[in-house]
Amino acid sequence: MNFIDLEYVPGKDDVIAEYYVEPNRISFEKACNHIAGESSIGTWTSLTTMKERILRDLKPSVYYINKKERIMRIAYPLELFELGNIPQIMSSVGGNVFGMKVIRNLRLLDIHFPAMYIKSFKGPVHGISGVRKITGVRKRPLLGTIVKPKLGLDEKEHAKSAYDSWTGGLDLVKDDENLTNMKFNRFEKRVAETLKMRDKAERETGERKFYMPNITAEANEMIRRAEIVKGYGGEYVMVDIVSVGWSALQTVREFNENMRFVIHAHRAGHAAFTKNLKHGISMLVVAKLARLIGVDQIHIGTADVGKMEGSREEITEIEDEIEESLILEKGHVLEQKWHHIKPVFAVASGGLHPGSIPRLVKRMGCNVIIQAGGGVHGHPKGSLAGAKAMRQALEAVMEGVSLKEYAKRHEELREALNKWK
């Protein structure tokens, strides 16, 4: 079957996937044709069971080919996809196609979803405006930390670290991605102790403070842990969305319809398929899917500022103005107008410290959550001073004052800048 039709004009109900393609011993056009077939109604040979009505109603079209850039786009009839089912669509456009012998490298760069598909998802409970309302932080970026070391502290040590971070001026404290229910740090006791310290910090500072416990586990266990958090007065939960998978994330979001948590999405493991620019799935796609399902904030990297992989170009594809995001969509991917789907907070985390804040705010704006783990707890004077230095750095940026100038009157910031030059 021939799926290439360069005269085809995508319809408003088409799902569009954009791929980077490197063929293996066949022409670019043949590779595109194989990808279109394998991801939809085709297979490796002709079929006696193929009906005219199937071709008429369900045949996709490769309508754009750029051999120089090795880019192609496929328009799929919406009927090929089950509404409200992320695992199913990814089994199609992000499934068997990666394993075909006729493909050397293949990368799913972007997906455009039509209105009907978007409407089949609930999206975030809170989104950016809801998180700002809950936290009371209306205009500036939110500041957070990750308790470090990521493993090893007991429940009370963890809670004390969180308390120092909050009283130093941070808004959010979260568990690290591999801290769940450990022998040395039990989940329920950690939640109880840390939220007790949150209440104390709120009384002392007069500001709202928030803890993001990591509920990552088997789906039913995640729901049980979320109920524990609710019982102790928590308002946030964190999920390692790649590790648990799309199905479990959808389960958590469905459960959250009544619980009304803010869902913080950690992307641990994403680089296994996003890091190779020639093969895999882009972080842009991951971010779109997570927003559709309904996370309220998601890690997207630090635009070359911190320690984690992720170029400025990749991050701005997700968080900044897109010049040519896939054909039909313009604007911020996390903040595009998607019918009822609320905009989502971008989270910058990994190797950050007070000196990183000016560049981050310049590149990512104010709708960002800036998280520093080592950049808080590695301060020469400890976590409290590290948190103060982060808040001081942000205050300087919001006031339009250089960090060097602001540090003359703020000891904690000065010591942080001396350490992380």
In angstroms, the CA 401 to CA 405 distance is 7
Marked catalytic residue, from 34, 112, 126, 148 = 148
Task: Give yes or no: 266 in active site.
Answer: yes
The dihedral through the CA atoms of 239, 245, 247, 250 has a sign that is positive
Task: Give yes or no: 189 in active site.
Answer: no
> Six-digit token pair at 408?
């003359």
Marked catalytic residue, from 59, 122, 158, 266 = 266
Written in H, E and C, the secondary structure of the chain is CCCECCCCCCCCCCEEEEEEEEECCCCHHHHHHHHHHHCCCCCCCCCCCCCHHHHHHHCCEEEEEECCCCEEEEEECHHHCCCCCHHHHHHHHCCHHHHCCCEEEEEEEEEECCHHHHCCCCCCCCHHHHHHHHHCCCCCCEEEEECCCCCCCCHHHHHHHHHHHHHCCCCEEECCCCCCCCCCCCHHHHHHHHHHHHHHHHHHHCCCCEEECECCCCHHHHHHHHHHHHHCCCCEEEEEHHHHHHHHHHHHHHHHHHHCCEEEEECCCCHHHHCCCCCEECHHHHHHHHHHHCCCEEECCCCCCCCCCCCHHHHHHHHCCCCCCCCCCCCCCCCCCECCECCCEEEEECCCCHHHHHHHHHHHCCCEEEECCHHHHCCCCCHHHHHHHHHHHHHHHHHCCCHHHHHCCCHHHHHHHHHCC
Query: Which residues are known catalytic residues?
Result: 148, 266
